[in-house]
Structure 1
Amino acid sequence: MKCAVLDDYQRVAMSMTDWSTLSERIDIQVYNEHFECEEELAAAIGDCEIVVIMRERTPFRASLFERLPRLKLLVTTGMRNASVDLAAAAERGVTVCGTRGGGEGTTELTWLLILGLARKLTQENGALRENGPWQSTVGVDLCGKRLGLLGLGHIGSNVARIGQAFGMEVSAWSPNLTAERAAAAGVALASSKDELLAASDFVSIHLVLGDRTRGLIGARELGLMRPTAYLINTSRAPIVDRDALIDALRRGAIAGAGLDVFEREPLPEDDPLRRLPNVLATPHIGYVTEAAYRGFFRGVVEDIEAYLNGSPVNVLG
């Protein structure tokens, strides 16, 4: 059987786990470059019965499933992937499996963005590299500031704990967050989303993308934030209205944004988010750590083995 591994940007897929148990059963082709065109992708992997995808780098919509009549197994890293049309997969008889593991990379990257924004890291590092002004900005202290969390799940709770270690006041809100859960994390429960946005110096998003969270932060919500406040999004881009955010950043309605997720990835070369001076952005690397990758690809091998043995595991949908 033929197997394609897509979007191995760092060229590490084959070294992150032991694939030898599959060597006599499948023929693996690894693709390092992203396919922008669905037709080109289908032409490249059309003869594959198994495809492995990394997170949401390549969406699998109904139109792509229709172009891949030989596909039998789709394995995605992680146990949730909003870019895979599970109904279309089921209709075409394709089994979709996920993988466990992930590490704490997103928590750590969230704090990289918060600290980088607070200490004007982009400006200061750029000035140092280009022989610009020595000490041209004044940093923002974290101690005593309010950190507002939209979402208090696993990642949100870890972000809260670190904020508390910095001496920040931490509050949280989400559609289903209870006072008991907030208290268990030592976090104040905001009375509403609007109250959290208006009162926070740093707002960090840690929500699952869904019907209730898509577009949750728009022009009205950004208008509630302080002009000295920062927005951090390491969750999913569509939670924030992109045009409203760019407008708020251009006008200085908020002080800045730390972004690791984008509606289109890779981000186009002419995208304003690449060049706005009050944006600190990274190319969706929250989950891109050695621990996460080793866990993901170990799970990929286990999923393929289980499928070939007639007992699929971690089936989604």
Structure 2
Amino acid sequence: MLSSHPKSKVLAVLPKGGAAAKQPDYLVCQENALDLRDWLEKQGAEYVVTADKEGENSEFERHLPDADIVITTPFHPAYLKPEQLQKAGKLKLVITAGIGSDHIDLNAAAEKGEVTVAEVTGSNVVSVAEDELMRVLLLVRNFVPGYEQSRGGEWDVPQLAQKARDLEGLTVGTVGGGRIATLLMKRLKGFDCTRFYFDKQERQPMTDEGVEFREDLDSMLAECDVVVINTPLTDKTRGMFDKERLSKMKKGAHLVNNARAPIVEIESIVEALESGQLGGYSGDVWYPQPAPKDHPWRKAPNCYMTPHISGTTLQAQKRIAEGVREMLEQWFQGEPFREDYYIVREGELAEQYQ
């Protein structure tokens, strides 16, 4: 492992917290800086924290050439494309404060050889799984239109009830069988619904939870009332849910995506919602992030989106901050990280991104 002396320049790109930053537990913001400033400065490191990340004249671009370590988040990402990685001549370590490192060109980072990419694996598993369960229920119970009726002064129970169903007896499938998917399926067990998962191979934790493994994605989709995407964004999963794949789903089924937006095709989702092929779509991941005001999902029917918040509960922020500090301490001491933290190590991509 390539280690770095504590007298490093650490560049963190974090969103402005504003009023939320007054709460000391809100750590993943520019103001509170992952609770790292005092510790890093005592180590002799220079710690630059900014929310300004867009364009060649941004603070991120200005500090990048002499940064040894870059920290960024999935929900306010500093995009490290080949041109940024080329510009970052001193860069040795990139840490994702959270899970999901697709804002980094991982192949380009691997080609550089001397750049390690890591993330705080497991930090928001509970948070995201709970959020997914909430979205499943919101969709099948037709909750959001009911909320909108109540806010708008309407009262049309038949209009709402004709699309509301019990979760009991329905079929829920997950694309991907990792930690978040396993915890979601564990939570769903008490609802007495049929549970499937599709993955590259069978996974023992899923088997232990009594979830049925399906080898063929399209045949699983045809049976599911709700599909939840829980797979990393890779070259193989990019655009996985295109117009053709969406047509394989049961008509009127719901789709939940807290994984990454490019796993689906934006316009194909809109078309499927407009035609009724999709009964509803819900998630908190967009491309790009932050999402532009004219993003098609903001106006699509039965499309219930939020900003990228599923993994940013206060408990998750604490786990994220602790994980980042753990990695920095190990880096400064020349010690290896936990194996599952690595995304790019010595020029090699982690298995899930291959």
TM-score, normalised by the number of residues in structure 1: 0.87
Q: Percent identity?
A: 26
* Kept in 1: contact 2:238–2:262 (CA 8 A): yes
What letter matches 1:203 in structure 2? V
For the pair 1:2 / 2:9, whether they are aligned, the reply is yes
CA distance in 2, matches of 1:153, 1:304: 26
Equivalent in the alignment of 2:172: 147
Unaligned runs of 5+ in 2: 1-7, 22-26, 346-354
CA distance in 1, matches of 2:156, 2:277: 27
CA distance in 2, matches of 1:101, 1:203: 22
* Secondary structure, counterpart of 1:144 in structure 2: coil
* Kept in 2: contact 1:163–1:169 (CA 8 A): no
Equivalent in the alignment of 2:304: 280
Deviations 1:168-211 (A, max 9, x none): 11122223237x76543212233521221111111111122223
Equivalent in the alignment of 1:137: 160
- Of 19, 24, 28, which aligns to 2:47? 28
CA distance in 1, matches of 2:137, 2:179: 21
Query: Post-superposition shift, 1:264?
Result: 1.4
Of 95-104 and 118-127, more deviation after overlay is shown by 95-104
* Secondary structure, counterpart of 1:265 in structure 2: coil
CA distance in 2, matches of 1:226, 1:205: 16
Question: Pairwise CA RMSD of aligned residues?
Answer: 2.6
Report matched runs for 1:149-164 at 5 Å. Answer: 149-164=174-189
CA distance in 2, matches of 1:271, 1:203: 23
- Of 233, 243, 258, which aligns to 2:282? 258
> Alpha carbons of 1:265 and 1:18: their partners in 2 closer, same or farther (altered >3 Å)?
closer
- Of 120, 145, 167, which aligns to 1:99? 120
> Alpha carbons of 1:279 and 1:291: their partners in 2 closer, same or farther (altered >3 Å)?
same
Report matched runs for 1:1-317 at 5 Å. Answer: 1-10=8-17, 11=21, 12-13=27-28, 14=32, 17=35, 19-24=37-42, 25-33=44-52, 35-40=53-58, 41-55=60-74, 57-78=77-98, 81-86=101-106, 88-89=108-109, 91=112, 93-103=114-124, 104-133=126-155, 135=157, 136-138=159-161, 139-177=164-202, 183-190=207-214, 192-311=216-335, 313=337, 316-317=344-345
Query: Post-superposition shift, 1:17?
Result: 4.0
Deviations 1:1-30 (A, max 9, x none): 432221234343337546533223123232
* Secondary structure, counterpart of 1:250 in structure 2: helix
Query: Post-superposition shift, 1:95?
Result: 4.1
> Alpha carbons of 1:44 and 1:17: their partners in 2 closer, same or farther (altered >3 Å)?
closer
> Alpha carbons of 1:254 and 1:89: their partners in 2 closer, same or farther (altered >3 Å)?
closer
CA distance in 2, matches of 1:160, 1:74: 32
How many residues end up aligned between the 2 structures? 315
* Kept in 1: contact 2:282–2:303 (CA 8 A): yes
Of 111-120 and 208-217, more deviation after overlay is shown by 208-217
CA distance in 2, matches of 1:72, 1:254: 44
* Secondary structure, counterpart of 1:256 in structure 2: strand
* Secondary structure, counterpart of 1:3 in structure 2: strand
CA distance in 2, matches of 1:23, 1:246: 48
* Kept in 2: contact 1:71–1:94 (CA 8 A): yes
CA distance in 2, matches of 1:207, 1:94: 24
